[in-house]
Chain A
Amino acid sequence: MLPPEISILIVDDMKSMRTMVKGQLRQLGYSNFSEAEDGGKGFAMLEEMHRGGKPAQLVLSDWNMPNTTGIEFLKRVRGDSRFQNLLFVMITAEGELGQVKEAIGLGVTTYIVKPFTAETFQAKLKDLKLP
């Protein structure tokens, strides 16, 4: 189980989804959140947090977003030596096998398909460990 004080970045273009994810995280005892509405802003946020000495330790990202998609965001993250081992969870409605394989191939930590139950979300997070 990840420690409750970890810094979590939630990236989704839908505010309602970010609100829902935060609610589920609070139920698990987490409260240290940052948010971004697409992958480009998410990457900028990661850089800012890293520069500020308080790096994000877990990213929860949607796939289907304008400007920079979640898969493009993942590619940038894994291509940057500062973030190669960052825990990156894709939370997305895109559940086709080819897409899951693509994300795994790019180094996603785990994958949650929407819609998901609170139990599935909790189980996926409980399996995570800080590098």
Chain B
Amino acid sequence: MSDADGKQQTTEFLNTVLGSVAHTFKVAIRTEVKPGKTRMRGPDEELTGDVAGLVGLISNHFTGSLTLIFPEKTYLAVMSRMLEVEFLAISEDIADGAAEIMNMILGHAKTTLNEKGYGFQQAIPSVIRGTGIQIYTDAQPSILIPYTSDAGDFYVELALKR
């Protein structure tokens, strides 16, 4: 595959993910989200959050991971809207919510991309919780998309290997 083809596929995947994030938040969480400036994550740049949903990506063209990172305050607001119950702390009822949101985002993106021959495989997302967790990936390029919403700010990271 040429570099140009690889770049085009990365761009297409990224744009699809952006659309799927917007769709998932709008439908399941009734929240409009706005992506900030997409940028490459620096090699020593720390990415910190309190709850992360992540999923491995395996397709015909690349492998990697997709991560959704929330600070606790945003996460509680998001889960309160999704479940229509106010949560003031992260209980067992919502502990895996970031993984479920990631499941919806990937499912939506996969439906679109597989129609174009990307061949993404099913995957079960995981969740990581803790105060000030740091996310690292050895897959390059790592693309960071900061999001804002009236539920709070969060990040999406896309890390790909060809």
Contacts and interface: CB of A to CB of B under 8 A. Distances in A.
User: Is chain A's binding surface mostly helix, strand, loop or mixed?
Assistant: loop
A117 B108 CA distance: 15
B87 to A, nearest CB: 10
Nearest to A63: B122
A29 interface: no
A19 B108 contact: no
Interface in B71-126: 79, 82-85, 92-97, 99-100, 103-104, 106-108, 110-111, 114-115, 122-124
Nearest to A20: B83
B91 to A, nearest CB: 10
Interface string A49-76: 0000000000000001110000000000
Interface in A85-131: 92-96, 113-117
Q: How large is the interface on B (under 10, 10 to 19, 20 to 34, 35 or more residues)?
A: 20 to 34
Nearest to A19: B93
B124 to A, nearest CB: 6
Contacts of B24: 115
Contact of B96 (A14, A65, A66, A95): A14
Nearest to B115: A96
Nearest to A18: B93
Interface of B: 23-24, 27-28, 79, 82-85, 92-97, 99-100, 103-104, 106-108, 110-111, 114-115, 122-124
Interface of A: 13-17, 19-20, 23, 64-66, 92-96, 113-117
